[in-house]
Chain A
């Protein structure tokens, strides 16, 4: 995806992560990294899949993405338990660059504390943190 975009149906964490609350089951959220994050990283060459069943804590690292040059922590925007990981990224980690809000999703979590959602930003507020 060549141009910056920040979909309005997502919630954003200042560490450049997003959460999409499942429409059918609001107790589940899909997590990923933002366009800005993948653009800063450059081409992702490795995503080390976390384990289903692992706990994630809001504001803490739950996985790593690696570009050619560097390793970056992925910060959880919400706390919960991982119920699904995007297995396709094992072979095609560049989907994180190509489609960060779609096929490049990272994990799905069962949300531990729905109130945490209130601390996240909407698209407009997040985009404003990026400046220029």
Chain B
């Protein structure tokens, strides 16, 4: 492992737990502990805990914070509520002028004029540069890189809420809201969000407090889970992974993310997004399941046009699943596809999203 890799505040916990560590976006991260299948099952049936401290944070504050974010983010940032007890959370994409996707992001409202946006590790520097460049047009908005100030722990699964509640000083925020709480005595931004399709929280805390919080969650039954399980969990519920399902080469409408684009807010790329929305995209991102044996992988070509953007074996469903960009006329659920998996044609069927639902 190259020594230049960054380590999270939980590195010692991962090593002690016997994690297999891999390079991911410049970070040394746990890909798995005991095994992907068991970690995946723990999140679906009980609770898992993930170190996602490699993700970045950008804080935007000041009287023009909303205006800057409205310009940058595809969603209507003015819709993020602020209650006495905490703020809302909102998903959006960051687009170039041509509509190509630079990143997909969650933004949390911390205060009247203060927002925290969580970036993907591989995109953090580019996002930060993009934010700072456009902030020049909004002198009353400050952009601050907060990546070194936060560790991030995701607790996910049907038992996650109870585990976190048991160490919280106050009732926990609802889904899609965020509030500051004391967890096991330490101040934590508790966010009712996640990347698994299960109930749970993403916890943003000081790196100095991360190890104690992690150990408390594990002691209360949350099973350490790695990036491999995070990927199978998110793909079963058809959440996008930047670099696989999203890139600057395609826009949010093609990716099925038109729901988080509000062109009337005039975000960068809004005109390009509107044009594709009105004319209809040539390609669409579909979910598929392999009909028979085999696993399609990113980059496999679809007969008749298109390519697989993500593929894996679904631990919950027991079949190969994935997402693919295909010509719009092949995107309806039930459409049969043939995918070239390293020279073997594998049959697949376009499915409704998500591929996995509770109880299915």
Instruction: Show the binding face of A for B, using Cβ within 8 Å.
Output: 42-43, 45-46, 48, 64, 66, 68-69, 71, 90
Contact status A66-B313, CB under 8 Å: yes
- By beta carbon, the residue of chain B nearest A68 is B36
Contact status A42-B32, CB under 8 Å: yes
Within the complex, the shortest CB–CB distance from A81 to chain B, in Å, comes to: 21
Is B270 interfacial (CB 8 A cutoff)?
no
Is B20 interfacial (CB 8 A cutoff)?
yes
Q: Besides A42-B32, A42-B36, A71-B295, 11 other CB < 8 A contacts?
A: A42-B31, A43-B35, A46-B293, A48-B293, A48-B344, A66-B313, A68-B36, A68-B231, A69-B228, A69-B231, A71-B297
Is B90 interfacial (CB 8 A cutoff)?
no
| Given A68-B312, A68-B313: A43 in contact with B37 (beta carbons within 8 A) | yes
Report, nearest first, the 5 A-B pairs whose CB atoms are least far apart: A45-B313, A68-B36, A68-B228, A66-B295, A43-B35
Is B221 interfacial (CB 8 A cutoff)?
no
Within the complex, the shortest CB–CB distance from B312 to chain A, in Å, comes to: 6
- By beta carbon, the residue of chain A nearest B35 is A43
Contact status B32-A46, CB under 8 Å: no
Distance between Cα atoms of A89 and B143 in the complex (Å): 55
Within the complex, the shortest CB–CB distance from A97 to chain B, in Å, comes to: 9
Count of residues in B whose CB is under 8 Å from the partner chain: 19
- What are some 30 contacts across the A-B interface (CB < 8 A)? A42-B20, A42-B31, A42-B32, A42-B35, A42-B228, A43-B35, A43-B36, A43-B37, A45-B295, A46-B293, A46-B295, A48-B293, A48-B294, A48-B344, A66-B313, A68-B36, A68-B37, A68-B228, A68-B231, A68-B232, A68-B312, A68-B313, A68-B315, A69-B31, A69-B36, A69-B228, A69-B231, A69-B312, A71-B295, A71-B297
Contacts of B32 in A (CB 8 A): 42
Is B182 interfacial (CB 8 A cutoff)?
no
Contacts of A66 in B (CB 8 A): 295, 313
Contacts of B35 in A (CB 8 A): 42-43
Contact status A71-B293, CB under 8 Å: no
Interface residues of B in 209-248 (CB under 8 A from A): 228, 231-232
Distance between Cα atoms of A43 and B20 in the complex (Å): 13
Distance between Cα atoms of A68 and B322 in the complex (Å): 12
Distance between Cα atoms of A43 and B226 in the complex (Å): 14
- By beta carbon, the residue of chain B nearest A90 is B293
Distance between Cα atoms of A59 and B312 in the complex (Å): 28
Distance between Cα atoms of A69 and B228 in the complex (Å): 7
Distance between Cα atoms of A64 and B342 in the complex (Å): 10
Contacts of B294 in A (CB 8 A): 46, 48
Contacts of A64 in B (CB 8 A): 342
Within the complex, the shortest CB–CB distance from B239 to chain A, in Å, comes to: 17
Distance between Cα atoms of A26 and B293 in the complex (Å): 34
Within the complex, the shortest CB–CB distance from A71 to chain B, in Å, comes to: 7
Contacts of A48 in B (CB 8 A): 293-294, 344
- By beta carbon, the residue of chain A nearest B38 is A43
Distance between Cα atoms of A42 and B232 in the complex (Å): 14
Contacts of A71 in B (CB 8 A): 295, 297, 342
Contacts of B297 in A (CB 8 A): 71
Within the complex, the shortest CB–CB distance from A38 to chain B, in Å, comes to: 12
Distance between Cα atoms of A48 and B292 in the complex (Å): 12
Most central of A42, A66, A69, A71 by chain B CB within 10 Å: A69
Contacts of A43 in B (CB 8 A): 35-37
What sequence of 0s and 1s flags, for each residue 275-314 of chain B, a beta carbon within 8 Å of any chain A beta carbon? 0000000000000000001110100000000000000110
What sequence of 0s and 1s flags, for each residue 34-69 of chain B, a beta carbon within 8 Å of any chain A beta carbon? 011100000000000000000000000000000000
